[in-house]
Amino acid sequence: MSTALELVFEKTRAENRAALIAYIPAGFPNSLGCERAITALVDAGVDAIEIGYPYSDPVMDGPTIQEAAEISLKGGTDAADVFSALKVASATGVAAVVMTYWNPIEKYGVNEFAQSIADNGGSGVITPDLTIEESGRWLEAVSNCGINPIYVVAPSTSDARLAKVTSKTGGFVYAASVMGVTGARTSVSVDASALVARVKATTSLPVAVGLGVSTREQAKEVATYADAVIVGSAFIKLLLNAKSEQEGLESISALAKELAKGVREGR
Amino acid sequence: MTIELGDVLGHFGQYGGRFVPEALIGALDELEAAHNAAKTDPIFQAELAELHRTYTGRPSIITEAKRFAEHAGGARILLKREDLNHTGSHKINNVLGQALLTKKMGKKRIIAETGAGQHGVASATAASLMGLECVVYMGEEDTRRQALNVARMKLLGAEVVPVTTGSRTLKDAINEAMRDWVTNVATTHYMLGTVAGPHPFPTMVRDFHKIIGEESREQVLALTGTLPDAVLACVGGGSNAIGIFHAFIPDLGVRLIGLEAGGDGIETGRHAATISGGSAGVLHGTRTYVLQDENGQTIESHSISAGLDYPGVGPEHAYLHDIGRAEYRAVNDDAAMAAFSLLCRTEGIIPAIETAHALAGALVIGKELGPNATLLINLSGRGDKDVQTAADYFGIPL
Ligand SMILES: Cc1ncc(COP(=O)(O)O)c(C=O)c1O
Tens-digit pLDDT profile for residues B28-82: 999 999 999 999 999 999 999 999 999 999 999 999 999 999 999 999 999 999 9
Q: How far apart are alpha carbons A229 and B167 in whole angstroms?
A: 34
Residue B5 within a domain: no
Q: How far apart are alpha carbons B280 and B315 in whole angstroms?
A: 10
- Taking any CB pair shorter than 8 Å as contact, residues of chain A touching chain B are 55-60, 62, 66, 70, 73, 78-79, 102-108, 128-131, 133-134, 151-158, 161, 165, 176, 179-181
Domain shared by B285 and B384, yes or no: yes
Q: What is the mean pLDDT of each run of 10 residues along chain A (267 residues)?
A: 96 98 97 97 98 95 92 97 98 98 98 98 98 98 98 95 98 89 70 94 97 92 96 96 97 98 95
CATH 3.20.20.70 is the classification of domain A4-265? yes
Pick the closest to residue B261 from B239, B280, B277, B285 (CA basis). Answer: B277
Q: How much is the average pLDDT of B9-32? A: 95
Interface confidence, given as ipTM, is 0.96
Residue spans of the domains in chain A: they are 4-265
Residue B127 sits at the vertex; the CA angle it makes with B121 and B131, to the nearest 5 degrees, is: 150
Residue A156 to residue B298, Cβ atoms within 8 A: no
| Number of folded domains that form chain B | 2
Please state the three-class secondary structure of B350-383 as a single string.
CECHHHHHHHHHHHHHHHHHCCCCEEEEEECEEC
Pick the closest to residue B63 from B263, B355, B301, B348 (CA basis). Answer: B348
| Among candidate residues B180, B205, B230, the one where a domain is terminated | B205
Residue B233 within a domain: yes
Q: How much is the average pLDDT of B222-239? A: 98
Cross-strand partners of B210:
none
Please state which of the ranges A208-217, B269-278, B375-384 shows the lowest mean pLDDT.
A208-217
| Among candidate residues B160, B178, B205, the one where a domain is terminated | B205
Q: What's the pLDDT band for B1 if we cut at 50, 70, 90?
A: low
Residue B145: its H or E element: helix B140-145
Please state which of the ranges A209-213, B78-82, B137-141, B325-329 shows the lowest mean pLDDT.
A209-213
Q: Which residues of B are identified as catalytic?
A: 91, 113, 380
Which domain, by its residues, includes B134?
12-52+91-205
Ligand 1 — pocket residues by CB below 6 A?
B 89, 115-116, 118-119, 194, 234-241, 307-308, 352, 354-355, 380-381
Q: How much is the average pLDDT of B115-143? A: 95
Domain shared by B19 and B158, yes or no: yes
How far does residue B236's CA lie from ligand 1's centre (Å)? 6
Q: How much is the average pLDDT of B196-223? A: 98
Q: Tell me how close the Cα of A229 comes to any Cα of chain B, in angstroms.
A: 19
- In chain B, the percentage of residues whose pLDDT exceeds 70 is 100
Q: What is the dihedral of CA B211, B212, B217, B221, to 10 degrees?
A: 110
pLDDT at position A186: 67
pLDDT at position A182: 78
Cβ(A215)–Cβ(A187) below 8 Å: no
Domain shared by B291 and B350, yes or no: yes
Residue B175 to residue A58, Cβ atoms within 8 A: yes
Domain shared by B140 and B220, yes or no: no
Mutate to test the pocket of ligand 1, among B81, B83, B91 (most ligand atoms within 8 A of CB): B91
Residue B328: its H or E element: strand B326-332
Q: How far apart are alpha carbons A2 and A67 in whole angstroms?
A: 35
Q: How far apart are alpha carbons B232 and A182 in whole angstroms?
A: 43
Domain shared by B328 and B379, yes or no: yes
pLDDT tens string B82-107:
999 999 999 999 999 999 999 999 99
Chain B residue at shortest CA distance from A81 = B295
Pick the closest to residue B107 from B26, B33, B188, B200 (CA basis). Answer: B188
pLDDT at position A248: 97
Q: Which residues of A are identified as catalytic?
A: 50, 61
- In chain B, the percentage of residues whose pLDDT exceeds 90 is 92
Q: What's the pLDDT band for B398 if we cut at 50, 70, 90?
A: confident
Pick the closest to residue B138 from B109, B108, B155, B159 (CA basis). Answer: B159
Averaged confidence pLDDT in chain B? 96
Instruction: Give the closest residue (by CA) to ligand 1 atom 15.
Output: B307
Domain shared by B96 and B234, yes or no: no
Distances (CA, A) of B49 to A38, A145, B36, B99: 60, 55, 17, 14
